[in-house]
Structure 1
């Protein structure tokens, strides 16, 4: 735990709200600058003046590839070895470049990074537990925010509206006694709810706070929304809020769970897909179909549905044909909303496994995957095994060229903070984490019967 987090968690609630708001103003300056305004206006303008998508995407692709050759040592060498002729004549010519594997990105990330100032770190643990840290320029982040806000605007939600967000962040001290599991970010008119305190004994407090705030939009981890919705149904709690839209992210929902969220929170759900590494955004339109934001990059689907992403807005750590680890399916059908690209029918790979604490609280993958984000690419892969109600084994594969025993101490402290004093946690460094019969490596493995 860093010094800033220690100071925050040791502060009284009113001061935590103030610190959350101060941080919100910092994010606002970082995310809503000139690059944001320019891209947002471009997205609005295309509604009145549709673009030639293929020509626009090819132009953006060539600009990005030329940038990579000039600023990234890895791509400069790779393009020379391939004798790649730029600019490309067709988007399909991108296949001349071999896919970028996660392990290649992790091991060679210093040479893949560019010489630009890129102070924003994107951290991911993913559902496979592989640790990656990438960097964005401020302009990259602003462009991503412009696309995210444009997506929300198409569903009637504008920046500054009352917003509730479910986050895996540690907003609340373990020692807090008062049932206030949310913090106010006045800079963005946002109420942040930590999912780490959701349990059978706290859910009614969460629901009351949601109704009192009366959000115009809800976003964040759907696992929290689903748990609260089931609780509301069990307890006969009828919410009065009527949000314009609900935007889950990062986790899978079944159609039943989606309908449950819509019924309990009284708002339509619109799904989205991106990644901490910087994959282009795929978002749901008003017709309920998912589309790629083509201005952000290219998504290729291999024969088995595995996704390769080329993201035009990754100028700190460029991604070209990056195997992100997810799968998608596309029927090739077009959508009546008028979007020029094919419909993406499903996005697979976003799971929702969890550990169960003795008090019944579920700790979902979205929280568990955040553990390896604190380390500087020094762990190759991790797995949580729940052996019993109070017994967790944590397996990790260290990269001994980067790993130190201080990192193991960091991991242990993080685990105890996340899981609580009642859980017995044992850490074990291993050379390999076994795959399942399906060939997948799980982040969470439940052994309780």
Structure 2
């Protein structure tokens, strides 16, 4: 417990001292995680391989998955890490995750369906069985075998009524119903996605299918609203609200330890914006039923920062898309820097930034908020111009590169943007597109 406390506080050397007083059988995952944080990747991988092969069955899933993620991240190429991981012959906790990553990121596209089917049949009730079944379902959908896909969709919705892949399955069941000319059923599925998963990428897509006249991007600007105490005054919280307005944060924090939204608001008031957003997001994820977008808690999950700058330098771009890109790229941290050197609010590579600076005569400070957002807006405009003025493709190129996107145009077989997005070969880019569009959708609804 002492070692875990030091680890949680970022004191990894002290954590190591206490871990050395334990056994590998009980603490292998802690050893692996701690050595990774210390930068000793070779030693971290030694503990990871040893523990995954011998001691994983008695270790919490979350710890095993974190060790696996660190293990893969230690390789120059994720693909190589996943291949090495699957060569270890794992047969305990984590084996299904390793197999899932193999299907998702290593196996060739024409073999993915068989890979996911094998995984689903081997672990029918495992942590990744729902997502495996979704991928089999999507394979049938993309093959235009709509009745087979529909059968799998019914199975998924019955067996896994509320998991990460549920919004996607519900949405595509709507598309299948439409293709089978069951129009009322199709609309009902779309409405279900919006009602049950309002802050999802698939709610954004369902809205388009229900109200196409509004266009793919129905929101064009935001009205700034302040982040305020997340609950309106009532008989139940009268004292807490009064203390909040008196700015007695310590007492409010003590009285509301278990309320992540109040903890988030306190962090926001103390200008700990990253911690605030993380707490609010966790709080929203824990709610069985999501509130309406008028609810004050959404502003904590999706705060507005730098929008005045974004709106000023947007050029011909949709400012909400730029705001969403900033949120997903840097979480509004102007000093954010990625492992490959991308920097600032819009996470621009130095070479890209310097090129834009020279072309448009901008300040040379990559971390300066206005300069970084201006350069990012110009860069995004350039991507969009080359890609037929289509925002969705520009968003994909912002993450995956314009060369990759133009290559996918010729290599992927798709009849609409849904099929294009689901087949993006880079998992990171596919998820990035969905996250940016989800964030755009929520911002538009909240503000």
If the length of structure 1 is used for normalisation, what is the TM-score?
A: 0.29
| Higher strand residue share | 1
| Higher helix residue share | 2
If the length of structure 2 is used for normalisation, what is the TM-score?
A: 0.29
Q: Report the structure number with the largest CA radius of gyration.
A: 2
